[in-house]
Amino acid sequence: MKMGQKGRAVIALGGNALGDNLPEQMAAVKITSKAVADLIEEGYSVAIAHGNGPQVGMIQDAFGLLTRAEPEKYVQFPLSVCVALSQGYIGYDIQNALREELLDRGIGAGVVSILTQVEVDPKDPAFSAPEKPIGHFMTKEEADGLVKERGYVVREDSGRGYRRVVASPKPVAVVEKDIIITLMETGHVVVCCGGGGIPVFRTEGHHLKGAAAVIDKDLAAACLAEETGAEMLLILTAVDRVSLNFGKPDEKKLDSMTAAEAERYIKEGQFAPGSMLPKVEAAVSFVKGNPGRTAVIARLEDAGAAVRGETGTRILAG
């Protein structure tokens, strides 16, 4: 089937698609590229968004070490710059692995990574209540040191140690959307909105100022899907379906749900914040009031089967 014949799809890649460090990432993207290539073979024109939680934290930590060692020579990079750096090196691995996989299948589509800025509202309440964990786990002593030294906000995370937390504002608009659309229309696969996009807000004139924040990549993917006119949002993660009563004896896996049902489950507290909740919220925001759209949450390895309706959880307008 010709690429793009079925329309446009935006893929949101979860953390299992990238691993937690560079060696893991190089191995993981080979599996990821097969899943994405399956979707392209199904006939979709594809844009790919991805997370960067461990990577952006490692970048900032690395520059922090340089800053402490030689403060007269190095300055601490803003978080927005660290997001940009993470987009570059993650995109580099994804585009090379996917290019190789596509050529092995006889598909000549180009693959390109775009440094993508995503506009946020400076008045978003998330800036006064940071909650998005980034970077590595720390002891309490290490965390206290960063609070004193840099003014970071840190939080204990599930009994595994302390992590820095930053604001996670909602995406408003993808700045480079027109470029992304043009590339998709001309048969290219686009890696974009890495880490949810470089968070920026408008100031005087046409200036865009970086924000100390990390945008949730699932919500950014939904925004990207909306702005590029995609018919499908495919959120790939580590589980095969969305579940009610997850991890309990009466756990129930869902093959499908309407936006209204999903909103009811959200109010019931069925989905864990920072895990399944933003995925379901992103799916709802994309399909609600739009019967021509479909969102699917599925396991990474099942991408092709998920778009065919053989697995995964489909979220429909209702």
CA dihedral 20, 112, 297, 9 (to 10 degrees): 180
170 catalytic residue (yes or no):
no
Q: Which residues pair with 313 in a beta bridge?
A: 297
Q: Could you say which of 19, 34, 51, 132 is catalytic?
A: 132
Task: Report domain extents, the chain.
Answer: 7-118+174-316
132 catalytic residue (yes or no):
yes
Q: Could you say which of 52, 217, 288, 304 is catalytic?
A: 217
2 catalytic residue (yes or no):
no
Grouping H, G, I as helix, E, B as strand and the rest as coil, residue 83 is helix
Q: pTM of the entire structure?
A: 0.90
- The pLDDT value given to residue 76: 79
| CATH number attached to the domain at 7-118+174-316 | 3.40.1160.10
Q: Could you say which of 16, 53, 135, 194 is catalytic?
A: 16
Grouping H, G, I as helix, E, B as strand and the rest as coil, residue 301 is helix
- The pLDDT value given to residue 4: 67
Q: Could you say which of 15, 161, 210, 274 is catalytic?
A: 15
Q: Could you say which of 51, 52, 53, 279 is catalytic?
A: 279
* pLDDT, tens only, 243-300: 999 989 999 999 999 999 999 999 999 999 878 999 999 999 999 999 999 999 999 9
* pLDDT, tens only, 210-250: 998 999 999 999 999 999 999 999 999 989 999 999 989 99
Report the distance separating Cα 214 and Cα 195, nearest Å. 7
